[in-house]
Structure 1
Amino acid sequence: MTARILVFASVAPELAHEFEHAYTQVTARMQGTPGLLGDELLRDGNKPGRYLLLSEWESEEQFIAWESAPAHREITVPMRPYWSGNFERRIYNLAARLEPEVSVG
């Protein structure tokens, strides 16, 4: 079952650009990770320095396996210096999906 991982995080607003660059470094290194379907970094438009990291995995189990592996800590090193304060991680399993209608001809 598809799982979505949401990580709510804060960085110092003056370091936001550097954090976003670190995110691109991390995601480039994650290419080909088994089970990873996609990853996005969303910036809060009303609160500078607030982010939502959203990833989609084939299953919760595959995410947990990656998160528990030593490679996880090594791959995410570029982002760690930018966290300021707490972050929160939530796992959601896909319950339903709206599929767009395809018009034929």
Structure 2
Amino acid sequence: MTGGPSAPERVRVIRLLRVRAGMEADFVKSYKDVLARAARFPGHLGEQLCRSLDDPAQWLLTSEWDSPEAVQRWRTNPEHRTLVEPMNACLHDDRWTAVFQVKETVPV
């Protein structure tokens, strides 16, 4: 399609996390508190929280957003820092976050 509006530049934020032993329930509760607010934030499309079968301390959190700008607005929102503090208190410091542009793949 030419001449029409370009497709939205969806992005996926990926966080690889290590939860401190004995803090799993606190982590999940605080994650749900963050998710309850993020789900209503403009541009948020969805989330997924996964726990490793090989290493139960390792978790993968992904969120999808309709644009890089929406992610930036969420990250710089003053409420965000307050919301994520209890969740981050459950984590080891060896965590990382990356933001990827979503590209669809189609089976051939």
Fold shared by both chains (TM-score > 0.5): yes
Measured in 1, the distance between the counterparts of 2:86 and 2:39 equals 16
**In the alignment, which of 32, 35, 45 is matched to residue 37 of structure 1?**
45
Does the CA contact (< 8 Å) of 1:30 and 1:75 recur in 2?
no
Measured in 2, the distance between the counterparts of 1:96 and 1:28 equals 27
Q: Which runs of 4+ in 1 moved over 3 A?
A: none
Report the equivalent of 2:82: 74
| Unpaired runs of at least 5, structure 2 | 1-8
Report the equivalent of 2:6: none
Measured in 1, the distance between the counterparts of 2:13 and 2:43 equals 12
Counting matched residue pairs gives 99
Report the equivalent of 2:54: 46
Measured in 2, the distance between the counterparts of 1:31 and 1:95 equals 22
Measured in 1, the distance between the counterparts of 2:45 and 2:69 equals 14
Could you tell me the TM-score, scaled by structure 2's length?
0.82
* Greater helix share, structure number: 1
Could you tell me the TM-score, scaled by structure 1's length?
0.84
Does the CA contact (< 8 Å) of 2:39 and 2:46 recur in 1?
no
| Unpaired runs of at least 5, structure 1 | 100-105
Measured in 2, the distance between the counterparts of 1:53 and 1:89 equals 9
* Percent sequence identity over aligned pairs: 27
CA RMSD of aligned residues (A): 1.6
